[in-house]
Amino acid sequence: MAQVKMPKLGESVTEGTMGRWLKQVGDAVGKYEALAEVVTDKVNAEIPSDYVGILAEILVGEGETVAVGVPIAIIREAGEEPGTAETPGTLGEAAGTRDAAHVTSPQGAPGAPSAVGAAGQAGAPGRPGVANGVVSETERNPNGGRFSPAVLRLAQERGLNLAHIKGTGLGGRITRKDVLASGLVQQGTASDDRGGASAYAVEAELVTGRHAPVESNPSSSMAAGAGTSPAERSGRSVAGADVTDAEGTRIPLTAVRKTIARRMLESKQTAPHAWMMVEVDATSLVRLRERQKAAFKAKEGIDLTFLPFFIKATVEALKEFPIVNSQWAGDHILQRREVNISIAVATPDALAVPVIHHADTKSIYGLASAIADLAQRARAGRLTLDDVQGGTFTVNNTGAFGSILSQPIINAPQAAILSVEAIVRRPMVQADDSIAIRSMVNVCMSLDHRILDGWVAGQFMKAIKRIVEGYNEQTPLY
């Protein structure tokens, strides 16, 4: 038997959330074939198999978050006989490792101890447990081997006795599906402190593929969602289905939404945000683009938008004030040598933040091409880890939605984030006191006040204003 572990998916990635298992227990697995999808705070990725064989057991359920290096599955390698017992201690080691590691269940909170570990330490009678991160002999599967950590935790959460559950896995091993299926029978006595019988039945339906009747309880705050198939519900969220009650619709958190929530909260709680805005006259830029966009589209096959011009201005301003291209590093400030611009790309499910690497070496055309490529692949779900790593400063094009003012949250650990608002034609008083219609745009910046003070931030924004207002018909695109 071979263990598949949560891989290290990037230099700063320390954990991953299981998004969806692409293989199920009993499926044949080829070398380098994708086993599951994993969601990190950087990008969604597939976990390939390093072995040829049969998927014998899944140790980490969909929606669970575990640290890098924690076993997530067991593969029976080619040549091993079905039902072959694992090397003594193999799964026990996996259980101990996983229990000691940072684990978050779909309904749990980051950093909270697993329910199995807590129950084992408390010595709850009649329930499986883990003491000090080690599965005891009483938690061994009577059909051979040990219970997996996922099975132990799920049984504890449901209040089920594994001795009364028949296993359908290899060699009679009890799987998560067996525990959930058994829970359907024992539903009247099983407890569920995460939403009552209805939430329990929904999860059982999604994991086992069997329909579980939902108990009608007027006093319960959870009720089954109507008019939605299990496939539609599972497609929206790993955690379960939308449920509707008198108060409204409760939408389970997807792994991506959990990651966004955690990262945004950490940024706001860690970095003291300051904010400023400058008003920029983009009239000459608008005229330049109007004259060039048709020929540019015909020649390059991509649209000439305003964003590459603002990114170019940002890059030039970063060269003048390199401290803005920095990050907080605990006991020092790291001023980055490379200028890599992160851009926000809206997708139907979430917000992706790919990176234009070496943006300071690119022309307007080079930036436009990079933006078009990253945006297309982000919306198609084809970004790689390299595409989302190494950003040093973020530019957000909120003006695309018609916004004229925004206060973005810093993309930690970067020092600042810039938002370019909508370009709006407005009457403006000129230097000679005349009034003229000009194309005006607000450029906003949130900054980490640990790194940047008002003076340098103001000078940086002033430089962006100067550069954008200096665009004219002679501005080179290549």
Which residues, including other chains, have CB under 8 Å from residue 332's CB and lie 6 or more apart? Answer: none
Distance CA(119)–CA(127), nearest Å, equals: 8
Q: Residue 190 CB: number of other CB atoms within 10 A?
A: 17
The number of residues in the chain equals: 478
**φ and ψ at 376, to 5 degrees?**
-65, -45
Cis peptide preceding 413, ω within 30 of 0: yes
Which residues, including other chains, have CB under 8 Å from residue 246's CB and lie 6 or more apart? Answer: none
Distance CA(38)–CA(13), nearest Å, equals: 12
Closest CA to 286 of 474, 468, 435, 478: 468
**Residue 439 has which token pair?**
């194309």
Q: Is 31 exposed, middle or buried (0-12, 13-18, 19+ CB in 10 A)?
A: exposed
**Residue 252 has which token pair?**
């389970």
Angle among Cα 431, 433, 436 to the nearest 5 degrees reads: 85
**φ and ψ at 443, to 5 degrees?**
-115, 120
**Would you call 448 a catalytic residue per the annotation?**
no
In three-state form (DSSP H/G/I as H, E/B as E, the rest C), the secondary structure along 43-57 is: CEEEEECCCCEEEEE
Q: Residue 114 CB: number of other CB atoms within 10 A?
A: 26
Distance CA(165)–CA(441), nearest Å, equals: 66
102, 273, 358, 449: which one is catalytic? 449
Amino acid symbol at 459: Q
**Residue 316 has which token pair?**
């030039």
**Would you call 449 a catalytic residue per the annotation?**
yes
Q: Residue 20 CB: number of other CB atoms within 10 A?
A: 16
Name the DSSP class of 170.
Answer: G
**Residues labelled catalytic:** 449, 453
